[in-house]
Amino acid sequence: MKRLLTRAKDSRLLGLLRKIELDKYGPFVALVVLFVISSLASPYFLQLRNLTNILRQISYTGIIALGMTFVIISGGIDLSVGSATALVGAVAITVLNLLGGGVWAIVAAIAVAVLAGSTAGALNGLVITRWRVAPFIVTLGTMSIFRSLTLFMTNASVLRSTSQLYPKLGMGYLLGLPNPVWIMLILAAAFHLILYHTRYGRYVSAVGSNERVATYAAIKTAWIKFYSYVIVGATVGITSILLSSRLNSVGSTNAGAGYELDAIAAVIIGGTSLSGGSGSIVGTLIGAVILGIVNNMLNMMGVSPYLQGTVKGLVIIGAVLIQRGRRRTA
Amino acid sequence: MGEQREQSVTQTLVKTEGLAKDFSGVYVLRDIDVEIQTGEILGIIGENGAGKSTFIKLLNGTYAPSDGVIEFDGEPVQLSPATSKRLGITTIPQEFNLVNDLMVYENIFLGQEYRRRFGVLDRKRMRARTEDLMKDLEANVPPRAEVSSLSVAEKQMVEIAKAVAFNSRLLIMDEPTTVLTPIEIRILFDLMRRLKAQGVTIIYISHKLKEVQEICDRVMVLRDGDFISLDPVEALDEHEMANRMVGREMTQIFPEKAVGGEEIVLDVEGLSVPNLLHDISFSLHRGEILGFAGLGGAGRTELAETIFGLRKKSHGVIRVRGEVCEIKSPSDAVAHQIAYLPEDRQGTGILTGFDVASNVTLTSLKDYAKLLINRRKEHAAARKYVKTFDIKTTSVRTRLEYLSGGNQQKVSLAKSLDANPTIFLFDEPTRGIDINAKMQIFQFIHELVAQGISCIFISSELEEVIGLCRRVFVMRAGRIAGMLADDRVTEEEIMKLATGVTEGGLA
């Protein structure tokens, strides 16, 4: 049923793209093309340091994007992740400082962060499933609430950790890759397993693709959706630890600002449908890397940082347009 | 060219030559040469997957032909949805194309609104025109009713009104009567005759051969994408039509009626749902096929939904195998080994974006997963159903959107069955599927009851209820109007109870 493409009097390139199943490999093809262009455009691009740098930069929002993939596949959205990152980070640093900043204090801070993030997500999930408020509205509300609580907690200042040890977590490397990158990769592998090989993953897709059918198939749709918000909340907790330990502080006004946009963008660019039902973790990872490379190239070519948002916006809109073309042909 | 045109306007409206369509190399329609005359009603019959839908989608521009030519008014045309609309080709689709949140008149004029100066909508004129249209259709649908509040039959009328409103020259109707009551079918047929008298050409697709016989001038038979025959309708009787569709001599449609046991497996007492169901009581015996007949909107679907935990009951008791059950959700129902095959297949039964295997195991996934899903076991189960139900699919990994309606229905069945039910609620299981698939489903239900599974069979096709069930409950306006058994299960008796008219004779 590749009707649209046929009618578009397909050029040879389009014909080629059709052959390689744009459906599945679209984001990957885009990544390869972008990679080749970037390496031709700048001699520095292919340097190992630059590449690991890109990966580290994307890891913070990339981790959240992994969790966001579940939410979006189930048919929802979470706009509160950026503010929640700041709030959870502030809570974690507070705990860390209270407990003296040693190894056990760090362990406690991590546990509290994951727990607090999951709780924030559970809160969203509860309002969305229990009282049936649209996810967009609920998380728009909590986005404002979480940021405001962070500002209140810190008196709108930067909350610094007193620990000497804590920064090692976020700054460290393992086998040549920054720690946050490892965590992103491990989470991606785990989430991929959950999405494709567990009942929960199957149910998430079922709920997102047709909630009525899922209900008729005796799936507890409310719980499935609820847990997707808990999952994204947990990823927020992890990111807030990695971010605050790298800076050894949390800035209440700017920590996590705009993360919701980057996370959602990575998911969408990665081929997950914003209307739910289908998507992939690998795609999200690729989406995050694409965003990272675009930013990196703009930096290297000396484009004003103020313009980078414009390019990012265009990439997102472009990705959705391509997706829609794909859907129509299906 | 002008000469040629004058000639053809008088006779042929649409002419196809060597028309063919393939999807990635698989031909679903081959080499169709047909001339459709102006002002005729052309019936198209064939099993699911015979190519009927593909043929009309080529005519209304949804698909572009892979091969061949379509001539309209004697001129070759390249049809797209927009051009076909301009030419006056309209389709009343099987699945409705209405915006639920808009009112009836807004739907009818969607995209072609009447306007006054400065682009202001002329709502008054649109409403008046809608009222006229509805009067013509003898349909009691107020222009300002919201579409979501309409019954299926009323939505159908809105679709027809939408098509008629803009002077259609070729009206394509795909299974228009499946959701209509006998009375509504009368009205539709009258309307079709009037349109025909006005010179409108109609293509009529149906599985109901009796109706084809009644309303069509000529009938075209397709089978597996091939043209089989095109004859005046008088030349074929129903039996011959069925034979040509299937390509072999048809045997008996209904299996022998099942005799239920003594044991009562499902006992419903005084069940009520505000505004929908009132004081419903009945009991289902082990291994019986219990029929539920009634007109559209009588509450049969709502009853099944309530038993399955999709609706909240306000009063009444449901006992499964003697034990009182509080069924609050479908998962409660499944836990009590109740299965439900819903009426609206695409909306509630299957996930078109999922493959065959994941659809089959959707309800029973628990049995295939410890921590991780055992794909091998899952696929083996799916293959088993593909084989026993004769599901036509390339593999168990094929997505359901590529399967025909009958095969989708079988997957939906397999899904319900895989949860190991002992009580099976069938809601219009044969809606929109062909004779062969119907027979297979009857046979399948028969095998179920032979294994001791008890079935509730809801159908608007009286002959099915009569052919399958020894006991039939007839519902009217949310109540049980009466129960018929054995010899009293006849079309007349059922219609009497269903309509509440003492003198039957509607059908």
Helix (H, G, I), strand (E, B) or coil at B250: coil
- Written as one letter, the residue type at B499 is T
pLDDT at B5: 42
In degrees, rounded to 5, the angle at the alpha carbon of residue B275 between the alpha carbons of residues B272 and B277 is 35
CA distance B373 to A66: 21
**Tokens 């559970």, residue?**
A122
Count of other CB atoms within 10 angstroms of residue A59: 25
DSSP conformation letters of A110-163: HHHHHHHHHHHHHHHHHHHHHS---HHHHHHHHHHHHHHHHHHHHTTSEEEP--
Cβ–Cβ under 8 Å, residues A163 and A106: yes
Helix (H, G, I), strand (E, B) or coil at B123: helix
Nearest Cα residue in chain B from A330: B401
CA distance B330 to B366: 15
| Residue ranges, CATH 3.40.50.300, chain B | 2-246
Across all residues in chain A, what is the average pLDDT?
89
Q: Name the minimum distance, in Å, from the CA of B425 to any CA of chain A.
A: 12
Q: Which of A13-27, A282-296, B52-66 has the highest mean pLDDT?
A: A282-296
Helix (H, G, I), strand (E, B) or coil at A67: helix
- Give residue limits of the domains in chain A: 48-329
Residue A216 to residue B342, Cβ atoms within 8 A: yes
Cβ–Cβ under 8 Å, residues A92 and A109: yes
Residue B373 to residue A217, Cβ atoms within 8 A: no
Among B66, B351, B397, B402, most A C-beta atoms within 10 A, so best to mutate, is B351
Q: Name the minimum distance, in Å, from the CA of B406 to any CA of chain A.
A: 18
In degrees, rounded to 5, the angle at the alpha carbon of residue B499 between the alpha carbons of residues B493 and B504 is 45
Pick the CATH number of B2-246 from 3.20.20.70, 2.60.120.480, 3.40.50.300, 3.50.30.50: 3.40.50.300
pLDDT at B99: 86
Contact status of A9 with chain B (Cβ, < 8 Å): no
- In this prediction the pTM is 0.73
Among B57, B372, B400, most A C-beta atoms within 10 A, so best to mutate, is B372
* Confidence check: pLDDT of A121 > 90: yes
Three-state SS across B178-212? CCCCHHHHHHHHHHHHHHHHCCCEEEEECCCHHHH
Class of domain A48-329: mainly alpha
CB-nearest to B349 from A209, A213, A277 is A213
CA distance B223 to B97: 28
Query: What single-letter DSSP state applies at residue A138?
Result: H
Residue whose C-alpha is closest to residue A261's, from A283, A242, A288, A282 = A288
- Write out residues in chain B with pLDDT < 70, as ranges: 1-10, 24, 48, 248-253, 345-346, 501-507
Which residues of chain B have a CB within 8 Å of the CB of A212? Answer: 347-348
**Tokens 């009818």, residue?**
B108
* Confidence check: pLDDT of A323 > 80: no
pLDDT at A184: 97
* Confidence check: pLDDT of A80 > 90: yes
Cβ–Cβ under 8 Å, residues B263 and B285: yes
With a CB cutoff of 8 Å and minimum separation 6, the contacts of B301 are: B343, B427, B458
Residue B218 phi/psi, 5-degree rounding, is: -130, 160
Tell me the pLDDT tens digit for each residue of B10-53: 578 999 999 998 876 778 888 999 999 999 999 999 876 788 88
CA distance B238 to B242: 6
Q: Are strands B423-427 and B338-341 parallel, antiparallel or unpaired?
A: parallel
Distance, C-alpha B307 to centroid of its chain: 23
pLDDT at A55: 95
* Confidence check: pLDDT of A74 > 50: yes
Residue B29 phi/psi, 5-degree rounding, is: -150, 135
Residue B64 to residue A7, Cβ atoms within 8 A: yes
Residue B330 to residue A277, Cβ atoms within 8 A: no
